[in-house]
Amino acid sequence: MQKHQCDYELVYINDGSKDKTEEILTQLAFENNRVKVISFSRNFGHQCAVSAGINHCNGDVAVIIDVDLQDPPEVIPDMIRLYLEEKCNVVYAVRKQRKGESFFKRFTASAFYRTLEKLSDVEIPRNTGDFRLIDRAIMNVYNQLPERNKFIRGLISWMGFKQVPFYYDREERFAGLTKYPLRKMLRLAANGIFGFSKKPVKIATTLGSLSIVIAFMMVLWVLYLNVFTPDQLVPGWASTIIIVLFMGGVQLFTIGILGEYIGNIFDETKKRPEYIIDKKINF
């Protein structure tokens, strides 16, 4: 295959790191003006960092990749080749294997993708992260989206256009520990589910209706016992407590779901920026 020269840039997002990351990136940018660095004023989160990279890309295509080397940069030429062959807008990387991850991580990830697939109004491919190639059309649309609590892989799927998979093996983490603890994973999962589906509200309505039906059936059962077999009716508070706990659980569950949607609306109405930039180098 004939090799072609192409212009490129490397955009690094320093998401409020507290180690020597900024010093290292500054040195790289000093040695190579193709290296561009954006440093946030504090840690704003992974999705905000990816947004900043997309917002500041100048190329015809961009590849989103984390720097922990779990996603192999050496497959990027193959992704570009597939992009050119398919004449598509997105090449999303699909993990065939997740090496070095615990059973709990694999199980919860699988459960999340299956739940998202069932609940989401948009088809989001399984076993995909933010590692993907996107072209200028996708970037232009993305930069017009005003929402703050972004779930990027969901938004890109929502856009449509032509998207093709690229399968690869995900290796074990090269060094360091994940900065994505369970709390952040749950927040990301919530953004994915509540940002792309109204089905949880419908589930809450279904549970409420089911609780009314069950309560009504229990009333009929108690009336039946009173009329036909009063000697079998055991006095006590057990049935009352069961009904109260069941109704209270359904109510709290539905209030929690509504709270997630209201919280997202609250965040959007504040219109705060997704991130604040402290420094920019080579822009």
Same structural domain for residues 146 and 261?
Answer: no
Closest to 64 in 3D by CA, of 13, 113, 24: 13
- Please say whether the beta carbons of 159 and 199 come within 8 A: no
What does residue 140 show for φ and ψ, rounded to 5 degrees?
A: -65, -45
Q: Give the per-residue SS3 of 259-278.
A: HHHHHHHHHHHHCCCCCCEE
> Does residue 35 form part of some domain?
no
> Does residue 24 form part of some domain?
no
Q: What is the pLDDT of residue 17?
A: 86
Distances (CA, A) of 280 to 42, 98, 99: 14, 34, 35
> Does residue 3 form part of some domain?
no
Same structural domain for residues 186 and 259?
Answer: no
> Does residue 1 form part of some domain?
no
> Does residue 59 form part of some domain?
yes
Instruction: Write out the two tokens for 243.
Output: 């009904």
Rounded to 10 deg, the angle between the 182-195 and 103-119 helix axes is 10
Same structural domain for residues 140 and 222?
Answer: no
Structural domain of residue 263, as residue ranges? Answer: 199-270
pTM of the model: 0.64
CA-CA distance, 263 to 124, in Å (whole number)? Answer: 23
Where does a domain end: 153, 182, 197?
A: 197
Same structural domain for residues 91 and 109?
Answer: yes
Same structural domain for residues 69 and 116?
Answer: yes
According to DSSP, the β-strands at 61-64 and 128-135 are: antiparallel
Where does a domain end: 197, 216, 241?
A: 197
Instruction: Write out the two tokens for 66.
Output: 């984390």
Same structural domain for residues 182 and 76?
Answer: yes
Single-letter amino acid, residue 124: I
CA-CA distance, 121 to 190, in Å (whole number)? Answer: 15
Q: Which residue has the tokens 């193709």?
A: 34
DSSP tag of 56: T
> Does residue 66 form part of some domain?
yes
Same structural domain for residues 53 and 159?
Answer: yes
Same structural domain for residues 53 and 188?
Answer: yes
Q: What is the pLDDT of residue 128?
A: 78
Number of other CB atoms surrounding residue 52 within 10 Å: 20
Same structural domain for residues 173 and 131?
Answer: yes
Same structural domain for residues 193 and 204?
Answer: no
Q: What is the pLDDT of residue 103?
A: 63
> Does residue 40 form part of some domain?
no
> Does residue 36 form part of some domain?
no
pLDDT tens for the 283 residues of the chain, in order: 445 567 889 999 998 888 888 999 999 999 999 999 999 999 888 888 999 999 999 989 999 988 877 788 888 899 999 999 999 999 988 887 655 556 666 666 666 666 666 666 667 777 777 889 999 999 999 998 887 777 788 888 888 889 999 888 776 655 555 555 556 666 666 666 666 566 666 666 667 667 767 776 776 776 776 677 766 666 665 567 667 767 776 776 777 777 777 776 776 777 778 888 999 999 8
Count: domains in the chain: 2
Same structural domain for residues 168 and 221?
Answer: no
Q: Which residue has the tokens 């992974």?
A: 46
CA-CA distance, 197 to 174, in Å (whole number)? Answer: 36
Same structural domain for residues 56 and 148?
Answer: yes
Where does a domain end: 197, 221, 255?
A: 197
157, β-bridge pairs: none
Query: Across the chain, where does the E strand assignment appear?
Result: 10-14, 35-40, 61-64, 90-98, 128-135, 163-170, 277-281
Q: What is the pLDDT of residue 154?
A: 81
What does residue 228 show for φ and ψ, rounded to 5 degrees?
A: -100, -35
Q: What is the pLDDT of residue 177?
A: 55
